Structure 1
Amino acid sequence: MRSDLPPLLEFLDGTYVETAGDWERRRSEIRRLICQYFIGNFPDVIPAIIGTRTLEEISKTDGSVRRRIQLVFNTPNQVSMDMWVWIPFGHSPAPILLIQPRDYQIPWAEAALSRGYLVCLYPGVDSHHQEADYPRYESVWNDFRAEYPDVNWTEISTKAWLASRSLDYLLEPQYGYNVMSEQIGIIGFSRYGKQSMVAAAFDDRITAVIARSPGSPASCPYRFTARDTFAETPEDFPGEWFLPSLRSYTGREHQLPIDSHGWYALIAPRLCLIHTAHNDGCEPTFAVEKGYLEGKKVYRFLGYPQNLYLSYRSGGHTPITEEHVAENMDWFDLVFDRLDSKQPAFCEKLIHDFNWREWKSQLSDQDLQVPNGNPLERILWSLGQKPKEIRSNNMASSFLNLAESELMTHDRWHVETTTRLPVHFGCNVRGNLYYNPNSEGSVPVIIWLHPFSYHSGYNEGYGVQGTTVYYRIAQQGCVVLAFDQLGFGLRLLEGSEFYNAYPKWSKLGRMICDVQYAVDFLIDGTGCSKGKMPKINTNHIYLLGYSLGGMVGLYAAALDDRISGVASFCGFTPLRTDTDVKPTGGIRRIWEHHALQPLLGIFHEDQEKIPYDFGDILSLISPRPCLIASPEHDQEADFDDIINCVESIRREWVDSPEFLTHLTPNDVNRFQADQHEMFLDWINKVVKKV
């Protein structure tokens, strides 16, 4: 088990890839693992084409021709499939572009044809979609699957295989297509991006692939889209896209011996572009970059690092704009060395590219010196030096506007008797208050702190059961304040530039600061709302955090006595025992991977010298109410270490045994309806006692 991605240049037995021969064996091993855990196997024998028929032919005014072709294959029942071939005007050999004819992908086909590409629209339409102009393109895959009852392939892999059968036809000289066999591209968006990567991975004739927002398990490895990211887990894929057994890895993604970065290994060294968005609901940028960087190692080993690209766009999953279509086709023209290529600049700029050694070089010996004071002073030191002035984050407006809330789907899970009120506070931190306008009197307020949801910020995405936590709590009568933390959601790019602006501070320090600003707003009114504020009880301000938010909440409560209590779900594992060899990956994920607390990096492989631990943080919170929820099977924590930490604090605070509630469900790391109810049960008891 490993928290980070299984290295592509390392065999399953731990030996390293050093030669070209080693790589071929490792590539075969990756192919076997991908088939075993993700997509199943393909038929051993490729069926020959034994018949073709032109069902329809349309001549266009631009000189191009569009043909609907039926192919018959040498299978037990001689199964057939239809496909469209769009042939450009002219006599020069044409590159080929394979596309699944979903309505929003047709603009790629039209643009490619206008640029002189031969376009093949093959039957790869998803079974959840139907296209009137392309009947049975979503279901013909079942005909082929029935021909091979002993093969356990899946929907996406079968349709990727059909792309290859289309190529068998187009590249066969007897059918007379004037094409460039060394320039074959495939492109797809979302689920079709997944399919395109699978097709390219298993057909070396495809020389270039664009996967636009393909999500998990494609550009995003499951290890980094678990429930604590609000992204797409193995449990979330619909129908028969992948093997049913894959779903069982939800919550234990780190046990997979290969992850979706394996597609890069099978595509390399051929050309591949991942086109993703900052706030794509299917693709956390952190996950995209982790998979991409591991894939880049293979491309570099093979001598073609320039053949793997990552391109960001602003916005979300949709729409595919005319500009995006042009950019994607420009890339194909560029890599195919087309004469009319405009040579666009596809520069690489990563968002999560933190170099700890460079950061450390900016600090003095005094900055790195641990103070001899009490635990509070040592905790404050670990958070870095808060600057006297915090720069504006240059947000477009004082409040979240309608377009931004639509992008982040803030109203998607709305429930009756709840209202959303935009607010802003602190250094232009923008968020929303959720409340029940029918509540009487002053009510408690909950500050919701989200997990590692880089793409969606405080909003929940995949895995929602009924509604989100902020709507569920608001419906029950509390006010909820929700906002994107630094480096997440609409503040994603603010995080990427943070250490350039504040090299001696920390992201975690800024997150805690924002919580303190939120408390200022709730108590003193230092901020603004876009309407009349609901009545809140300023003696009842609580924090609720999950994963990252659970950790931020514990620190914030420890450092601010105005906070009445805190609930932390999957929020910590003790620091001093969190070593590299543990399945968590150790404290490196805090000081380097997520760059939350870089000063902890000086204790790497020397964790026992960390000058404080979560026991000290819990002591600072006491005797205020504190809920710790640590499931037994949290892959991001050491359950026994947490038990020891909590029991130690309970012994220390024997006179206040009720301040700390510790729930240890037989469960994985998640925050869904069950966990929401755990919190509501706890907060109701706490409020009644006070």
Structure 2
Amino acid sequence: MRHCVLLLSLICSLQVGAQRSDVNYEEKEVPGYNLPELLVSKSGRKIKNTKRWEKVRRPEILKLFQQEVYGKIPVEIAIDEVVVHEQAGDAFDGLAKRRQVELVFRKDDKKLNVEILMYLPQTTDKVPLFVGYNFSGNHTVADDPDIRLTESWVRDNPSLGIVHNQVTEQSRGAKSERWPIRTIVEAGYGVATIYCGDVDPDRDNFQDGIHPFSYELGQFRPGHDEWGTIAAWAWGLTKAMDYFETDTEIDSSQVIVVGHSRLGKAALWAAALDQRFAMCVSNNSGCMGAALSRRQFGETVGIITHAFPHWFCENLTKYSSREDKLPVDQHMLLALIAPRPLYVTSATEDLWADPKGEFLSAVEAGKVYRLYGQEGLPVTEMPEPDNPAFGTIGYHIRTGKHNITPYDWLQFIDFANAHFKLEELSENRAWFSFQD
């Protein structure tokens, strides 16, 4: 059996490798395309005001993404119990308060534990909050010996001491460069993170995580139009939001959902589904995140559904190498976040994620922001690297590779400051100013 699994894995790797060898990285090879209309309803009626957008077009688009891309969430699952494992007031040399909370979900004989790690500024005021997933466990985001180690399945990474799909102390703080917690807290924001595998392990399994909670008798995987892993991750973010609304130290009206790469896709979908999120940040989210699929530049629908079929609903496979037949494109996903602030980022060496496609998607989404009297993205030509453009939609392309860096976080904070007007809030907070 083990040999069969290894052979299957090798075949899949060869298939993905073959597809990557044919990837288009030339702008001149981008096919001609027509984007689906944002502001024309299914019946052909033009959408000219926010009332028609909210009552007609937005629900149409949301339903299409549910049916054809991410999958619908087939059952309501509420938090059964909240367990507070720790409330400490002396993290980061007394700069922050650390809290570790576990959300418990139960159904019949099934139980799922989702742990949230939070660092909050030392203040009695309610604070705005960044929330996002991490890839390998909460303990990887900071070199803090008091962060609980995840017991969930984690992809093996022997260089970090992750073997047999279990973490060890060796991986503590391994991804701290992606989470500049001290900087975020000094700016007056809280930061919360969740290991994505607590909600749904990132593997084509569907037998662990939250998915089995929705199965009927005899069902072993989601239906063709039901939630894949990205939708499950988005669901987990909405459950975290349920908790934040009960936390007396968090301003639940100023919660910013942020995500990098595949977790950026999840952040976008969570913000589209749940309008309680006040702002969304998509960092290098690429194909089926912020980038336009019809450009067929870098990663494509065909590649992503072969390599990661569990991320999406089964229906998306119909559009492999047929992006022009998709009834939606990603500018429509970004538009679902209007009129809330949206920040989209790219990186100069991350052609796989199609930086130009991410930028053009953000430009197109501005049509809906303008219905609300908002500026959208204030430029129509890609800015130079490391020169952010801020409207109600923000964008930057950073010098470097596929990653989330302290530079990115400085821009997220600056963008949030502009929209949340933090300078008008309590002077008791230790606000931190930044220079480009």
Offset, 1:288: 2.0
* 1:8 maps to which of 38, 45, 62: 38
Give the equivalent residue in structure 1 for 2:72. 41
Is residue 313 from structure 1 mapped to residue 381 from structure 2 by the alignment? no
Offset, 1:262: 2.0
Offset, 1:28: 0.2
Contact 1:234 1:248 in 2 (8 A): no
Offset, 1:310: 1.8
In structure 2, relative to structure 1, the CA distance for the partners of 1:113 and 1:299 (3 Å cut) is same
In structure 2, relative to structure 1, the CA distance for the partners of 1:283 and 1:165 (3 Å cut) is same
Give the equivalent residue in structure 2 for 1:273. 343
Give the equivalent residue in structure 2 for 1:223. 294
* 1:156 maps to which of 222, 230, 233: 230
- Any idea what SS the aligned residue of 2:80 has? strand
Name structure 2 gaps, 5 residues minimum.
1-31, 141-174, 217-221, 376-390, 424-430
Separation (CA, whole Å) in 2 of partners of 1:271 and 1:84: 25
* 1:244 maps to which of 314, 327, 331: 314
Separation (CA, whole Å) in 1 of partners of 2:340 and 2:317: 30
Is residue 69 from structure 1 mapped to residue 154 from structure 2 by the alignment? no
Give the equivalent residue in structure 2 for 1:412. none
Separation (CA, whole Å) in 2 of partners of 1:100 and 1:230: 24
What amino acid is aligned across from residue 316 of structure 1 in structure 2? K
Give the equivalent residue in structure 2 for 1:32. 63
In structure 2, relative to structure 1, the CA distance for the partners of 1:13 and 1:30 (3 Å cut) is same
Separation (CA, whole Å) in 2 of partners of 1:216 and 1:98: 22
Contact 1:213 1:282 in 2 (8 A): no
Separation (CA, whole Å) in 2 of partners of 1:80 and 1:230: 36
In structure 2, relative to structure 1, the CA distance for the partners of 1:344 and 1:337 (3 Å cut) is farther
Is residue 233 from structure 1 mapped to residue 301 from structure 2 by the alignment? yes
* Equivalence map 1:120-131=2 (5 Å): 120-125=192-197, 127-128=201-202
* 1:337 maps to which of 418, 421, 424: 421
In structure 2, relative to structure 1, the CA distance for the partners of 1:321 and 1:293 (3 Å cut) is closer
In structure 2, relative to structure 1, the CA distance for the partners of 1:63 and 1:309 (3 Å cut) is closer
In structure 2, relative to structure 1, the CA distance for the partners of 1:20 and 1:127 (3 Å cut) is same
What amino acid is aligned across from residue 64 of structure 2 in structure 1? L
Separation (CA, whole Å) in 2 of partners of 1:53 and 1:140: 26
Separation (CA, whole Å) in 2 of partners of 1:14 and 1:97: 39
Separation (CA, whole Å) in 1 of partners of 2:435 and 2:373: 23
Separation (CA, whole Å) in 2 of partners of 1:285 and 1:85: 31
Contact 1:81 1:140 in 2 (8 A): no
Deviations 1:645-674 (A, max 9, x none): xxxxxxxxxxxxxxxxxxxxxxxxxxxxxx
* Equivalence map 1:279-358=2 (5 Å): 279-305=349-375, 306-318=391-403, 320-339=404-423, 340=431, 342=433
Separation (CA, whole Å) in 2 of partners of 1:169 and 1:262: 29
Separation (CA, whole Å) in 2 of partners of 1:68 and 1:269: 32
Is residue 178 from structure 1 mapped to residue 225 from structure 2 by the alignment? no
Offset, 1:234: 3.5
Count of aligned pairs: 328
In structure 2, relative to structure 1, the CA distance for the partners of 1:123 and 1:314 (3 Å cut) is closer
Is residue 22 from structure 1 mapped to residue 22 from structure 2 by the alignment? no
Offset, 1:141: 9.6
Separation (CA, whole Å) in 2 of partners of 1:273 and 1:234: 27
Instruction: Indicate the percent of aligned positions where both proteins have the same amino acid.
Output: 24
* Equivalence map 1:375-390=2 (5 Å): none
Separation (CA, whole Å) in 1 of partners of 2:38 and 2:285: 20
Offset, 1:248: 2.9
Deviations 1:43-74 (A, max 9, x none): 45352x33222224444231522222222236
* Equivalence map 1:93-112=2 (5 Å): 93-102=126-135, 103=140, 104=175, 106-112=178-184
* Equivalence map 1:398-547=2 (5 Å): none
- Any idea what SS the aligned residue of 1:100 has? strand
Give the equivalent residue in structure 1 for 2:388. none
Contact 1:7 1:294 in 2 (8 A): no
Contact 2:301 2:320 in 1 (8 A): yes
In structure 2, relative to structure 1, the CA distance for the partners of 1:114 and 1:341 (3 Å cut) is closer
In structure 2, relative to structure 1, the CA distance for the partners of 1:111 and 1:139 (3 Å cut) is farther
Offset, 1:139: 9.7
Offset, 1:30: 0.3
Offset, 1:265: 2.1
Separation (CA, whole Å) in 2 of partners of 1:51 and 1:8: 41
Give the equivalent residue in structure 1 for 2:279. 208
In structure 2, relative to structure 1, the CA distance for the partners of 1:234 and 1:342 (3 Å cut) is farther
* Equivalence map 1:543-622=2 (5 Å): none
Contact 2:98 2:120 in 1 (8 A): yes
What amino acid is aligned across from residue 111 of structure 1 in structure 2? T
* 1:195 maps to which of 266, 275, 285: 266
Contact 2:133 2:196 in 1 (8 A): yes
Contact 2:201 2:208 in 1 (8 A): no
Deviations 1:449-482 (A, max 9, x none): xxxxxxxxxxxxxxxxxxxxxxxxxxxxxxxxxx
Deviations 1:575-600 (A, max 9, x none): xxxxxxxxxxxxxxxxxxxxxxxxxx
Name structure 1 gaps, 5 residues minimum.
130-137, 346-690
What amino acid is aligned across from residue 300 of structure 1 in structure 2? R
TM-score relative to the length of structure 2: 0.68
Give the equivalent residue in structure 2 for 1:146. 212
CA RMSD across the alignment = 2.7
Contact 2:298 2:352 in 1 (8 A): no
Separation (CA, whole Å) in 2 of partners of 1:90 and 1:333: 18
Structure with bigger gyration radius? 1
Contact 1:57 1:66 in 2 (8 A): yes
In structure 2, relative to structure 1, the CA distance for the partners of 1:32 and 1:108 (3 Å cut) is farther
Give the equivalent residue in structure 2 for 1:653. none
Larger RCO, structure (CA 8 Å, separation 6 or more): 2
